[in-house]
A and B are shown apart, each in its own frame.
Chain A
Amino acid sequence: MSTQLAGGPLVSVRNLRIKFRLDRHTEFEAVKGISFDIAKNSTVALVGESGSGKSVTSLAILGLLPPENSIIDPASEIRYDGRNLIGLPMIELRQLRGADISMIFQEPMTSLNPVFTCGYQLEEVLKLHMGLTGRQARKRAIDLLREVGIPEPERRIDAYPSQMSGGQQQRVMIAMAIACEPKLLIADEPTTALDVTIQKQILDLIADLQKRHHMSVLFITHDLAVVGEIADYVVVMRNGEIREQGVAADVFERPKDSYTKALLRCRPQLDRRPVRLPVIDDYMGDSASADHPAGYSENLRLMMRERTRGVSASDPIILDVKNLGKSFYTRDGLVGRREFKAVKDVSFKLPKGKTVGLVGESGSGKTTVGLTLMRLHEATTGEAFFEGQDILSMSPRRFMDYKRRIQIIFQNPYASLNPRFTVGQILTEPMLIHEIGSNAQERTDMAFELLSKVGLPEVSFYKYPHEFSGGQRQRIAVARCLTMKPDILICDESVSALDVSVQAQVLNLLQDLQDEYGLSYIFISHDLAVVKYISDQVMVMNEGQIIEMANSDEIYRHPKQPYTQKLLASIPKGWHAD
C-alpha cells in the first residue's frame, strides 16, 4: 500500500487449470485454463453458479486445495508480487497466507472455534503473525472489533462466539482477516448465510474497509445483485471457464456474453413482473433442450408481458387460519420447562388459486407456520379451517384425508428425497399410501405423466435422486406432491437453495401448475424479490408475529411498518450507474 502503482496488478492468474481425481480412472476438470488480474486497491467479483469453479480458484490462490486429489497444471501461474504461488514451498505459502492474503468464509458459525472467546482467537492471530505481546494484542483486538462495528468492544471481546449473532460473528471473522493488514482479502460468499438486513451491513463494511486499508478484495458470490453493489471489476465463470470479464459498469450495462445476459435477467426484479421468467436456455440458444417440453419460442413473448397480481375481497377462501400459535418447550432443570413462542397469534386467509407470500428473516417463525399447518408440528393454539373443518383439532385418522390435500415442498432438494428410493418409488409411494390408482400399472402410468408434466424425461423413473441436479430434484419433489392432487401447496424456501437460472425454471413451473390446476400456494421465503414476483398477497413476519399484510404491489410500493421499510431498503439493487 506504500507504493501505489497504477499499473502492475497485485495478483495475476494465468492459464489456471485444476483437475480433481474422482477415483483411479476418472478426472474432473474443475477449472479450464482461466486468466484474470486483481488490480491493487480494487474489488474484483468472481461470479458463477454452483460448479463454476469459483471457489476452487480462490482456494488455489491460497494454496488450500487438498493435495491428495487435486492436480494443478504445471503450466498454470498465479503471480503475486512477482512470485509464482504455484509450487511455492509450504512454509513460504503459510507466511503469505497469514500476513498478505487472508480469507473469510461463508459460515461464520463453523469458522470460529466455539470453545474460545472471540478476543482470544483474535489475539492469537495478532501474536502469531504480528509478534505482539499479550497486552498489545488485546489493545489492538479491541481496536479491530471497534473498526468492524462491534458495539462495546471492551466488553464484547470476552464473549464466546455463541453469545454473538450471525452478523456479529461474521464481523469478528472479518476483524481476524484484516488483523494483519493483508493486501488481498478473499471473501467466499461472506453474506450468503446471513439475513438480508445483515448482508447489507456486511457489504458496506467490506467496501469501507477496502477503501480505508487500500486492500484488494476478491469477492466470490453467486449473486449478481450483490456484485453490483460492491465490485469494480467482474469476472463471470461457468463450468470452469470465464464467460466474460470487464469493468463492472460494462458487464452490467452492456453484457456481451449470452450467459451473463441470462444471469442478469433470470432473477426476478422488484420493478417488473413478466408472465414468465426468462430462463438460461432462452439466451443460450439450445432452447430445444430435453429439460423443457415445448413452446419455448413463445416464451420470449410471455417474458415481455406483465402479470397482474393481487387479492380482491370476492376471492373464495380455501384456508382460514385463526390465531395460530406454536410454542416449543425446552427442559429447564429437573421438572421445569421453558417456553419459547415461535409463532404468536397468526391469522390469515388463503384465497383459492392465489399465492400468499410469507417473508421474514431467520428465526421469524415463518417455517414453523408452514409445518404447523401441515401438522408436522402440532399447533399450541388456534384453528385452521379448510372447507369449514378445523384441520388442527381433528383426529389424526380423519386428518389423513386432508393431509393429502395440503402438501409441502421443502427448501433443500438434496435432503428432501430419500436417497435409497428410485424416483419411481418416490412417486408411487404417496399414491400407494392414499390408495390413489387401483393398481401398480395405473400408478406407474400416472408417475410417467407427472414426470413429463414437471419437465423431466420419463426415463427418470428408474433413476436415483443422486443422479439429478438440484433443479431437477426440486421438480421431482413437486411431482411427488402432485401425485396426491393437493389443493394447497406450501413452498418452504423451495427455490432458495437453487442457482439463479434454475430458480427461474422452478418458479415458472410453479406458476404453470397454478394456472393449470388452480393450486393455492403459501410461499415462504426470505428473498423479497422472489416473493414479490410469485405472490398475490404478502405477509411480513417478525418474531413470530405478522406485522404487515397487503397485496404484493402495494406492500413493495408503500410499506407501512418501519421493519418492512428496513427489509426493502436492504435488498441489493444490482448495478446502478451513480
Chain B
Amino acid sequence: MATDLATLQSGARVAPREIPHTVSPSLWVLAWRRLRSDYVGMVSLGIVAAFLVMVILSGTGLIAKDWSREVGVNYAPPTFLGADIEAEKAAAKEKSEAASTAAAPAEEYKSSVVDPIGDVIAELKGQKPATAGAPATSDEGKSVDPLADVMADIRAGKTGRGEVAAEERRATLPLGGDKWGRDVLKKTIKGSETSIFVGIAAALVATFLGTLFGAISGYYGKWIDDFFNWFYSIFSSIPYLLLILAVAAVLQQKGIMTIVLILGLTGWTGVFRLIRAEYLKHKAREYVQAADAIGASNARRMFVHIFPNVSHVVLVQVSILTVAFIKSEVILSFLGFGVPVDVVSWGSMLNEAQNELILGKWWQLVAAGTAMALLVTAFSLFTDALRDALDPKLKGRAGA
C-alpha cells in the first residue's frame, strides 16, 4: 500500500516535459494558511510548541536532569517571596539536622526489635563502611529486607538524597522547594515531560486503534461492523476506572509505558465511533465509487482514497485525546494508580502537594497546577483552531 502510494506520487512528480507551473496549494497548505490567520490559534500553538520543546530538552537530559537533587532547604520558599522569614529557615535547618541525627537511634532501635535477623543487620552494618558508595545487593540482604535495594540506592546517592550534607543548601529556589528541598521548577519541567509524553503517546495509541477499527468496521459494514460494534459496546459498558485497574492488574507492573498502554487501550472507543461514521459516509461518496470503477482494491480505497479525506478528523482527535489523557494521567497519578514513585509527574506533584498544603506550602501545587492549566487550555484552544482551519464549514458561518 505504502509503496503504491509512493510510486503514485512519484509518478505524479516526474515531469518529462517541463511545463512552467506554480505549485498548487494542497488542502493541508490551505488549512495551514487559515490556521495562521487565527490569532488565538497561533498563540496557543506557540505555547504548546514551547512545552514540546521543553519536553524534548528534558527528555534528552539537557535540562532538569538533576531534578531529584536536594538543592535547597526543606520547603524552601520561591525566590520572589525572598527567604521570607529567617526564623523559618533556621527552624527548617534545625529540623533537618534533628531528623538526620534522629535517624541513627531509630535504626538502632529497629535492629534491637527485629531479633531473629539481628545478626544479619549487624553484618550489614559491619559491611557498611566498606561498601559505602557501592550498591549493597547481597542476596542475604535482599531476602531479609525488601527495601534493601532501595536503601542501597539511597546510600549510593543514586536518587541524590545522599548528598544532603555535601553542599550548601540554598535558602530559596526559583519556584520554591518541596519536602526534601528539591527544586520545584525542575520538578515541574520533569513532570511536564512525563505527563505530556504519556498524553501524546497514549493519544497516538488510542487514535491508531480507533482509526483502524473504525475504518474496517465502517468500510466493510455487515457482520464485521456488527462484530466491532459488539466489541465496542462491551468495552464501553465497563466503568472507566475499573477497566483501567483491570488492565493495570493484568500488566502487573508500574511504569510510564504501562500508563500509556492503559490509557491507549481504553481510550479508542470515541475515535472508533467517529471514524466509523466517517467511513460509512465516505464509502458511499462518488469519488470512492469512482475509485472502485477504475479497479482500486479495498485496501487502496480505504487508505489511499478515503483516509486522506478523514485524516483531519483523526488529527483533531489526537489533539483532543492528548488533552484528555494528560488530565487522566494526572488523575491516575493523584490517586496513586499512575506513574511509579521514582518518577515525577504533574499528578504525583499534586498528590504531594495535598499534604504540603496543610503546612501552608502552596508553591508545588501552584507550579504543577499552573503548568497543567496553561498547557491544557492552550492545547484545547489550539484544537478548536485546528478544527476550524481543517473544516471551515464547521464554523457555522453560512457562506455565499
- Which chain A residues (401-437) contact chain B, with CB distance < 8 Å? 403-404, 407-408, 410-412, 415-420, 422, 424-425, 428-430, 432-434
Instruction: Determine if B26 and A464 form an interchain contact, defined as CB atoms under 8 angstroms apart.
Output: yes
Instruction: Determine if B17 and A448 form an interchain contact, defined as CB atoms under 8 angstroms apart.
Output: yes
- Which chain B residues (1-44) contact chain A, with CB distance < 8 Å? 4, 7-12, 14-17, 19-21, 23-27, 34, 37
Distance of A394 from chain B, by nearest CB (Å): 14
Instruction: Determine if A462 and B289 form an interchain contact, defined as CB atoms under 8 angstroms apart.
Output: no
Q: Does A463 contact B (CB under 8 A)?
A: yes
Instruction: Determine if B287 and A415 form an interchain contact, defined as CB atoms under 8 angstroms apart.
Output: yes
The interface residues of chain B lying within 8 Å CB-to-CB of A448 are 17, 19
Instruction: Determine if A480 and B290 form an interchain contact, defined as CB atoms under 8 angstroms apart.
Output: yes
Instruction: Determine if B294 and A433 form an interchain contact, defined as CB atoms under 8 angstroms apart.
Output: yes
Q: Does B65 contact A (CB under 8 A)?
A: no
In the bound complex, CA of A467 to CA of B8 (Å): 21
The interface residues of chain B lying within 8 Å CB-to-CB of A480 are 290, 294
The interface residues of chain B lying within 8 Å CB-to-CB of A420 are 26-27, 308-309
- B290-320 vs A, CB cutoff 8 Å, 1 = contact: the mask equals 1111111000100001001100000000000
Instruction: Determine if A408 and B11 form an interchain contact, defined as CB atoms under 8 angstroms apart.
Output: no
- B358-400 vs A, CB cutoff 8 Å, 1 = contact: the mask equals 0000000000000000000000000000000000000001111
Instruction: Determine if B293 and A444 form an interchain contact, defined as CB atoms under 8 angstroms apart.
Output: no
Q: Does A461 contact B (CB under 8 A)?
A: yes
Instruction: Determine if B19 and A444 form an interchain contact, defined as CB atoms under 8 angstroms apart.
Output: no
Known: A376-B292, A434-B295. A441 touches B16 (CB 8 A): yes
Instruction: Determine if A412 and B286 form an interchain contact, defined as CB atoms under 8 angstroms apart.
Output: yes
* B24: contacting residue among A417, A441, A464, CB under 8 A: A464
Instruction: Determine if A376 and B289 form an interchain contact, defined as CB atoms under 8 angstroms apart.
Output: yes
- A357-376 vs B, CB cutoff 8 Å, 1 = contact: the mask equals 00000000000000100101
- Which chain B residues (116-141) contact chain A, with CB distance < 8 Å? none
Q: Does A484 contact B (CB under 8 A)?
A: yes
Instruction: Determine if A425 and B9 form an interchain contact, defined as CB atoms under 8 angstroms apart.
Output: yes
Instruction: Determine if A410 and B289 form an interchain contact, defined as CB atoms under 8 angstroms apart.
Output: yes
The interface residues of chain B lying within 8 Å CB-to-CB of A434 are 294-295
Across the interface, name the chain B residue whose C-beta is closest to A422. Answer: B12
Report the tally of A-B residue pairs with Cβ distances under 8 A. Answer: 125
Known: A69-B399, A420-B308, A428-B11. A462 touches B24 (CB 8 A): yes
The interface residues of chain B lying within 8 Å CB-to-CB of A70 are 400
- Which chain A residues (449-495) contact chain B, with CB distance < 8 Å? 458-459, 461-464, 466-467, 477, 480, 484
Distance of A51 from chain B, by nearest CB (Å): 9
Distance of A509 from chain B, by nearest CB (Å): 18
The interface residues of chain A lying within 8 Å CB-to-CB of B12 are 422, 424-425, 428, 444, 461
Across the interface, name the chain A residue whose C-beta is closest to B4. Answer: A432
Across the interface, name the chain B residue whose C-beta is closest to A433. Answer: B295
Instruction: Determine if B24 and A443 form an interchain contact, defined as CB atoms under 8 angstroms apart.
Output: no
Known: A432-B4, A432-B11. A462 touches B21 (CB 8 A): yes
Give the segment of A22-30, A89-97, A513-521 that binds chain B: A22-30
Distance of A240 from chain B, by nearest CB (Å): 11
Distance of B143 from chain A, by nearest CB (Å): 63
Q: Does A112 contact B (CB under 8 A)?
A: no
Instruction: Determine if A24 and B37 form an interchain contact, defined as CB atoms under 8 angstroms apart.
Output: yes
Instruction: Determine if A440 and B14 form an interchain contact, defined as CB atoms under 8 angstroms apart.
Output: yes
The interface residues of chain B lying within 8 Å CB-to-CB of A441 are 14, 16
The interface residues of chain B lying within 8 Å CB-to-CB of A432 are 4, 7-8, 11
* A408: contacting residue among B293, B300, B305, CB under 8 A: B293
- B165-205 vs A, CB cutoff 8 Å, 1 = contact: the mask equals 00000000000000000000000000000000000000000
Instruction: Determine if A418 and B293 form an interchain contact, defined as CB atoms under 8 angstroms apart.
Output: no
Instruction: Determine if B294 and A484 form an interchain contact, defined as CB atoms under 8 angstroms apart.
Output: yes
The interface residues of chain B lying within 8 Å CB-to-CB of A429 are 8, 291, 294, 296
In the bound complex, CA of A464 to CA of B9 (Å): 14
Q: Does B285 contact A (CB under 8 A)?
A: yes
Most buried by A among B16, B290, B292: B290
Known: A434-B295, A444-B15, A445-B16. A56 touches B289 (CB 8 A): no
Across the interface, name the chain A residue whose C-beta is closest to B292. Answer: A376
In the bound complex, CA of A467 to CA of B30 (Å): 12
In the bound complex, CA of A432 to CA of B291 (Å): 12
The interface residues of chain B lying within 8 Å CB-to-CB of A152 are none
Total residues of chain B contacting the partner, CB 8 A: 40
Q: Does A385 contact B (CB under 8 A)?
A: no
Across the interface, name the chain B residue whose C-beta is closest to A420. Answer: B308
Instruction: Determine if B287 and A417 form an interchain contact, defined as CB atoms under 8 angstroms apart.
Output: yes
Instruction: Determine if A422 and B308 form an interchain contact, defined as CB atoms under 8 angstroms apart.
Output: no
Q: Does A68 contact B (CB under 8 A)?
A: yes
In the bound complex, CA of A443 to CA of B12 (Å): 9
Instruction: Determine if B24 and A56 form an interchain contact, defined as CB atoms under 8 angstroms apart.
Output: no
Instruction: Determine if B309 and A418 form an interchain contact, defined as CB atoms under 8 angstroms apart.
Output: yes
* B11: contacting residue among A419, A443, A462, CB under 8 A: A443
Across the interface, name the chain A residue whose C-beta is closest to B30. Answer: A466
The interface residues of chain B lying within 8 Å CB-to-CB of A388 are none
- A261-293 vs B, CB cutoff 8 Å, 1 = contact: the mask equals 000000000000000000000000000000000
In the bound complex, CA of A440 to CA of B14 (Å): 7
Across the interface, name the chain A residue whose C-beta is closest to B288. Answer: A418
- A545-562 vs B, CB cutoff 8 Å, 1 = contact: the mask equals 000000000000000000
The interface residues of chain B lying within 8 Å CB-to-CB of A415 are 285-287
The interface residues of chain B lying within 8 Å CB-to-CB of A408 are 289-290, 293
Q: Does A333 contact B (CB under 8 A)?
A: no
In the bound complex, CA of A532 to CA of B23 (Å): 43
Distance of B279 from chain A, by nearest CB (Å): 15
Distance of A409 from chain B, by nearest CB (Å): 9
Q: Does A336 contact B (CB under 8 A)?
A: no
Across the interface, name the chain A residue whose C-beta is closest to B25. Answer: A464
The interface residues of chain A lying within 8 Å CB-to-CB of B285 are 415
In the bound complex, CA of A231 to CA of B11 (Å): 54
Instruction: Determine if B19 and A419 form an interchain contact, defined as CB atoms under 8 angstroms apart.
Output: no
In the bound complex, CA of A419 to CA of B398 (Å): 21
Instruction: Determine if A69 and B397 form an interchain contact, defined as CB atoms under 8 angstroms apart.
Output: yes
Known: A28-B400, A376-B292. A444 touches B26 (CB 8 A): no
Across the interface, name the chain B residue whose C-beta is closest to A411. Answer: B286
Q: Does A88 contact B (CB under 8 A)?
A: no
Instruction: Determine if A477 and B4 form an interchain contact, defined as CB atoms under 8 angstroms apart.
Output: no
In the bound complex, CA of A416 to CA of B295 (Å): 15
Across the interface, name the chain B residue whose C-beta is closest to A427. Answer: B12
In the bound complex, CA of A68 to CA of B7 (Å): 45
Known: A419-B309, A459-B21. A404 touches B289 (CB 8 A): no
The interface residues of chain A lying within 8 Å CB-to-CB of B287 are 415-419
Instruction: Determine if A458 and B290 form an interchain contact, defined as CB atoms under 8 angstroms apart.
Output: no
Instruction: Determine if B309 and A422 form an interchain contact, defined as CB atoms under 8 angstroms apart.
Output: no
Known: A420-B308, A425-B8, A432-B4. A407 touches B24 (CB 8 A): no
The interface residues of chain B lying within 8 Å CB-to-CB of A24 are 37
Distance of A507 from chain B, by nearest CB (Å): 20
Most buried by B among A418, A444, A477: A418
Distance of B2 from chain A, by nearest CB (Å): 14
A-B contact pairs, 8 of them (CB 8 A): A30-B400, A56-B400, A418-B308, A420-B26, A420-B308, A432-B11, A444-B14, A461-B12
Show the binding face of B for A, using Cβ within 8 Å. 4, 7-12, 14-17, 19-21, 23-27, 34, 37, 285-287, 289-296, 300, 305, 308-309, 397-400
5 additional contacts (CB under 8 A) given A441-B14, A443-B11, A480-B290: A410-B289, A424-B11, A444-B14, A464-B27, A467-B24
Q: 10 closest pairs, A vs B, by CB?
A: A440-B11, A420-B308, A416-B286, A430-B294, A424-B12, A415-B286, A463-B24, A410-B286, A418-B287, A462-B21
